[in-house]
Chains A and B, each alone.
Chain A
Amino acid sequence: MNSAAPAYQKLPGRSIAFSGIGRLWLGEDHVLEAESLLVHERYRRFFLKDMAAIVVRRTKARMWWNVAHGVLGFGGAALAGGLWWWGTFVKEQEPRVVLWVFAGMIAPFALFFLILFLINSLLGPTCRCHVQTTAAGAHALAAPTRLRAARRVLARLTPLIEAAQKMNAPTLPTEVGTSAE
């Protein structure tokens, strides 16, 4: 074995949580789950030949994020618009300016949450991927957390897993037969 680090390829999808940023990497014969929290990384390995099943469960995470972002975004936008509209009816200058300043302060926050709402919607449905191995049972993978990325990961892994499991039986070294000479 050489001391060079094994080459890994990045697999689609990631997750962001308090436990860190989760990602999957494809190694030569295994999938590496890496969770990095600022300056520290934790790893788990799933060998292609051990994977019995991958179950993808659709989750409601996108809906709940959309509810949260939507309430803040659309609510904020309505409030800002309402204050502005109210201001146009006020005759005196000072209260009108106060109303418009408030509207102007709320608007950027509303816009921020509306952008999050849009991004979250465009990223597609959320999911959780569970890998079931012959040895260790089922494990909920840290990533991917979007259905679209999960399908791409599966499309990438399925042929590799099937190829790895064709060679299930331990093979004899070819040198054994010829070593008599």
Chain B
Amino acid sequence: MSVSLPVPPSFVACPACGFALPLDALAHGGESPCPQCRARLSATLFPTFWTPAPAAPGLADHAGDGEAVCFFHPQNRAALTCERCGRFICTVCDMPLGARHLCPTCLTSGLGGEKLPELVVRRFLWADTALLTGLLPLVAGLFVWPGFIVTGTAAIFCALFGWKRPGSLPRGRRHWVAVLGLILGVLQLAFWFGMLFLFTNSSFWAKTFR
């Protein structure tokens, strides 16, 4: 999340040595060496670099007759609409969240339960966990089968527990990964119970026929 500063960066620093690069050398677009460390650089400068974004006004205007007013401050003229709930808000109430403008209510309600995708900084991928715990023990070899009861249950748990939970932010929820983990988990449990059945039965036969 970013808060716009009124002053833009006035120079481009060499990423290798921090030297302030001469802008005329960068402007032609091709690759040029850093004058200090000779790192081969090419830079693209965008309009914001040259023209600072206008500083947000700190005070709100008083509303005139018939003008739309801020939802929270009836005396202030509306400057924007909240992009989540659509309320008119004044410049005091404007809460820029990245590129969006929200009202204070929407911002605080979004801070709690990770409702606003702009505020998500990390995600735990339940479906991938299910697939990993489902697949890895099987790849490791069938001789680790006594552990299948643990990993199989864990895979099934992760697949079901994470079913409704959000997945990767850019990739979205991938149910097929969870389904695959679920199937592999069930396979592990089936194998475990099958082995148990075989062992108990062979010892039972051994006792009866001896």
Contact = CB atoms under 8 A, between A and B. Distances in A.
Partners in one complex: yes
Main secondary structure of the interface of B (DSSP, over half): loop
B208 interface: no
Contacts of B116: 1
Contacts of B16: 57
Size category of the A interface is 35 or more
B148 interface: no
Contact of B80 (A38, A128, A168, A173): A173
A39 B80 contact: no
A57 B41 contact: yes
A30 B51 CA distance: 20
B13 interface: yes
Interface in B144-196: 166, 168-173
A166 to B, nearest CB: 7
A52 B48 contact: yes
Contacts of B40: 57-58
B8 A168 contact: no
B135 to A, nearest CB: 12
B39 A135 contact: no
Interface residues of B, number: 68
A176 B68 contact: yes
B123 A45 contact: no
Given A135-B2, A138-B13, A49 B123 contact: no
A39 B13 CA distance: 35
A154 B31 CA distance: 14
Nearest to A32: B170
Contacts of A93: none
Interface string A22-36: 010101011010101
B132 A38 contact: yes
Contacts of A53: 9, 12, 43-46, 49
Contact of A132 (B12, B39, B99): B12
Interface of A: 1, 3, 5-6, 8, 10, 23, 25, 27, 29-30, 32, 34, 36, 38-45, 47-58, 128, 130, 132-138, 140, 154, 158, 161-162, 164-166, 168-170, 172-173, 175-176, 179-180
Given A43-B169, A58-B40, A162-B47, 11 more contacts: A1-B116, A5-B173, A8-B170, A8-B171, A27-B170, A39-B125, A52-B9, A53-B43, A132-B9, A166-B47, A176-B88
